Amino acid sequence: MPERILIHNADYIYNLAGVSPNSPPQDILIEGNIIAAIGPKLDEKFGDVKTHIDATNKLVFPGFINTHHHLFQAFMRHVPQMQNQRIDQWIAEATSRAKKMDPEAHYWAALSNMAELVLSGATTTTDMLYLYPNQYDHQELFEATIEAAKTIGVRFHPYRGSMSRRDGLFEKDVLEESEKIIEHTRDIVDKFHQKAGDAMVKVGIAPCTIFTNCAYDYEQAAALAIRYDINLQTHLGESKFETRYVLEKYGMTPYQLMESLGWKDSRVSLAHCIEINDEDIDRLAQNHNSVSHCPTSNARSPIGQTGVAPIAKMLQKGVNVSIGVDGSAGNDSSDMLFEMRAARTNQGIPEESTYLDPEQIFYMATEGGAKALRWESNIGRVEQGYCADITIFDIHDSIGHIGAWDKAGSLISCSSKRAETVIINGEIIVSEGRLTKIEERQLIKKATTKWKEAFGK
């Protein structure tokens, strides 16, 4: 018999109706890696429970799903030379530093970011690794992030990113030939991609941007996605530089170019979409594309409204929106609660919208993320038959939550705090606010040592 975990006396469980007190309190039975039952007093119906978790007066959520990240950038937090830079110059700065990061550095950077994500309630994360310096084995760089995910126990959806365009914008020793990208993508999909609904690793394809990759890369990525039934991601509408570049080179908007290259189905998630017009938003909805909203990094360089994606308008038009923390060189943090708070608050900046309801944000961070990854039949809900990816918060021990009338809403409006318990695929990954599979002080020590070694600090 699979091992059983019983979460008992849960007063607040997130579902489609939002988060409200349960009457009577509910229990959640986990058998193996699946939610087996939800109901009152399950402890009286099921014996042989290995672990009991008390959820009295606590908030129970599906594990949060982070849909956009660059994990290697944990070693590039708040680099002075990368502040307030135009996007092409910013990427050039990131490129020069990435050349100093070997596979071991990628492992420790990824593990650092994953730890921060998990401690803030995430159970699934993506990654887009788009820089493959010539001096390193490309498969070893990609595999280092998968090994980090296995170490900490997070569900993982890495995208094989790339840069190929040789028009002088970027250093040649980080650019790849298009055919080599295709060949390596096939290899890693064959080796790492798991098709099962309860898979711990699924692989996607992600040309970095329209100005770092040629149109052929996007066409081939779309063809491979259909062949292997895997997902696609790219950066889109992130800057005025990109919009001008595409208009001058192709005579259309960035999203119109994506459509022309075959990126127009539910496999596609687009990171950012700040610079996008109403007609293209309509097309996003019609094509069942998803948007990965990264509010903190979006607001960093632009001033005011231009740094805020029109998420309220997208939601009104039926676009699926998820949450992405983005890379740590652009956000600096991998805190999901902090990002959810920014997603809620920043929509109050444009004149035509206001801040979003907490329920909209919780949906984006759970079911919206699962839908963006086409994983919505298995993750993103606390529901019988779904994978046991569950996050529990206790706000009653927090000074920053004293006096909160809406307990669930306070989670993304008051002080950010650690998850008390995180369960991923039926395994307890965080207990009493501490990682269970890796010792936190050792992680900090080893990751810092590798960072200093890589950059000569």
Are 263 and 134 members of one domain?
A: yes
Q: Distance between CA atoms of 453 and 451, rounded to whole angstroms?
A: 5
Q: What is the pTM of this model?
A: 0.96
CATH number at residue 430: 2.30.40.10
Where in the sequence is the domain holding 20, given as residue range(s)? 4-62+384-435
Question: Residue 32's closest CA among 49, 44, 47?
Answer: 49
**For 7-61, what is each residue's pLDDT tens digit?**
999 989 987 556 666 778 899 999 999 999 999 999 888 878 889 999 999 999 9
Is 395 part of any domain? Answer: yes
pLDDT by residue, tens only, the chain of 457 residues: 689 999 999 989 987 556 666 778 899 999 999 999 999 999 888 878 889 999 999 999 999 999 999 999 999 999 988 887 777 788 888 888 999 999 999 999 999 999 999 999 999 999 999 999 999 999 999 999 999 999 999 999 999 999 998 876 778 899 999 999 999 999 999 999 999 999 999 999 999 999 999 999 999 999 999 999 999 999 999 988 899 999 999 999 999 999 999 999 999 999 999 999 999 999 999 999 999 999 999 887 554 456 889 999 999 999 999 999 999 998 999 999 999 999 998 888 877 767 789 999 999 999 999 999 999 999 999 999 999 999 999 988 888 888 888 888 889 998 889 999 999 999 999 999 999 999 999 999 999 999 999 998 7
Q: Which residue has the tokens 């699979």?
A: 2
Are 25 and 146 members of one domain?
A: no
Half-sphere exposure of 40 (CA within 13 A, CB side): 5
Distance from the first to the final alpha carbon of the chain: 52
Are 14 and 144 members of one domain?
A: no
Picking from 372, 393, 424, the residue at the C-terminal end of a domain is 372
Question: Residue 393's closest CA among 337, 443, 444?
Answer: 337
pLDDT at residue number 303: 44
Is 457 part of any domain? Answer: no
pLDDT at residue number 304: 47
Half-sphere exposure of 91 (CA within 13 A, CB side): 21
Are 306 and 319 members of one domain?
A: yes
Are 165 and 34 members of one domain?
A: no
Is 446 part of any domain? Answer: no
> Total domain count for the chain?
2
CATH number at residue 209: 3.20.20.140
Are 57 and 76 members of one domain?
A: no
At residue 124, the 3 state secondary structure works out as strand
Are 360 and 396 members of one domain?
A: no
Is 295 part of any domain? Answer: yes
Is 447 part of any domain? Answer: no
**Residue 250 corresponds to which tokens in the numbers above?**
């192709």
What are the Cα distances from residue 99, in Å, to 102, 165, 428? 8, 18, 36
Are 71 and 57 members of one domain?
A: no
Are 405 and 272 members of one domain?
A: no
Q: What burial class does residue 355 get, using C-beta atoms within 10 Å of its C-beta: 0-12 exposed, 13-18 middle, 19+ buried?
A: middle
Are 68 and 58 members of one domain?
A: no
At residue 156, the 3 state secondary structure works out as strand
Categorise residue 239: left if φ over 0, alpha if ψ from -120 to 50, beta otherwise: beta
Is 112 part of any domain? Answer: yes
Is 448 part of any domain? Answer: no
Q: Which residues does 414 contact at the CB level (< 8 Å), separation at least 6?
A: 395, 398, 400, 401, 404
Picking from 319, 347, 372, the residue at the C-terminal end of a domain is 372
Are 74 and 194 members of one domain?
A: yes
DSSP string, 219-258: HHHHHHHHHHT--EEEEES--HHHHHHHHHHHSS-HHHHH
pLDDT at residue number 353: 67
Q: Distance between CA atoms of 405 and 417, rounded to whole angstroms?
A: 17
Rounded to 5 degrees, what are φ and ψ at 29?
-100, 125
Is 216 part of any domain? Answer: yes
Rounded to 5 degrees, what are φ and ψ at 390?
-135, 140
**For 220-238, what is each residue's pLDDT tens digit?**
999 999 999 999 999 999 9
Are 288 and 397 members of one domain?
A: no
